[in-house]
């Protein structure tokens, strides 16, 4: 089957806007993110050094526990390996032929953005690239 030489160009154009990393909005959100909350913000100082010190320690311990929960969730998301899969062929030539036939070569030849692949193949995804519902 002869392929149209414009097919590869079309595939490149379709994915040229595909994000290869965090989007502009995601980077802005990270830069403008609220700082970690001040664990001492809610401490009511009485003037009693012993009571105030105990209240500060309690507030700090609570702050550390809350930060640990957030960090545990961040770590889980960062190390979760169940969001990708691999496809294997016997030869590089077979792999390249598959990627060209599927019009995916423009996205990459080893690690491909799953959302760009879905767009190229016309597959709707339950969430968008930013992680929200579509």
Taking 50 as the pLDDT cut, the residues of the chain under it are 17
Residue 79's pLDDT is: 82
Q: What share of the chain is helix, strand, coil (3-state, %, to 5)?
A: 50, 0, 50
What residue spans define the domains of the chain? 50-83, 84-134
Q: Is 127 helix (H, G, I), strand (E, B) or coil?
A: strand
Is there a contact between 129 and 24 (Cβ–Cβ < 8 Å)?
no
Is there a contact between 115 and 14 (Cβ–Cβ < 8 Å)?
no
Per DSSP (E only), the strands in 6-123 are none
Is there a contact between 134 and 124 (Cβ–Cβ < 8 Å)?
yes
Q: What is the pLDDT of residues 67-104, one digit of tens each?
A: 999 889 888 877 887 888 899 999 999 999 999 999 99
DSSP label of 84? -
């Amino acid at each position: 089957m002869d392929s149209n030489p414009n097919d590869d160009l079309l595939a490149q154009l379709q994915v040229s806007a595909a994000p290869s990393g965090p989007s502009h909005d995601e980077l802005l959100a990270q830069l403008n993110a609220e700082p970690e909350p001040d664990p001492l913000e809610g401490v009511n100082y009485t003037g009693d050094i012993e009571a105030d010190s105990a209240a500060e320690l309690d507030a700090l311990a609570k702050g550390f526990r809350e930060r640990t929960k957030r960090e545990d969730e961040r770590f889980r998301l960062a190390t979760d390996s169940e969001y990708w899969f691999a496809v294997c062929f016997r030869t590089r030539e077979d792999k390249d032929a598959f990627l060209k036939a599927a019009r995916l070569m423009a996205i990459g030849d080893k690690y491909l953005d799953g959302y760009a692949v879905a767009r190229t193949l016309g597959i709707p995804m339950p969430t968008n690239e930013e992680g929200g519902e579509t």
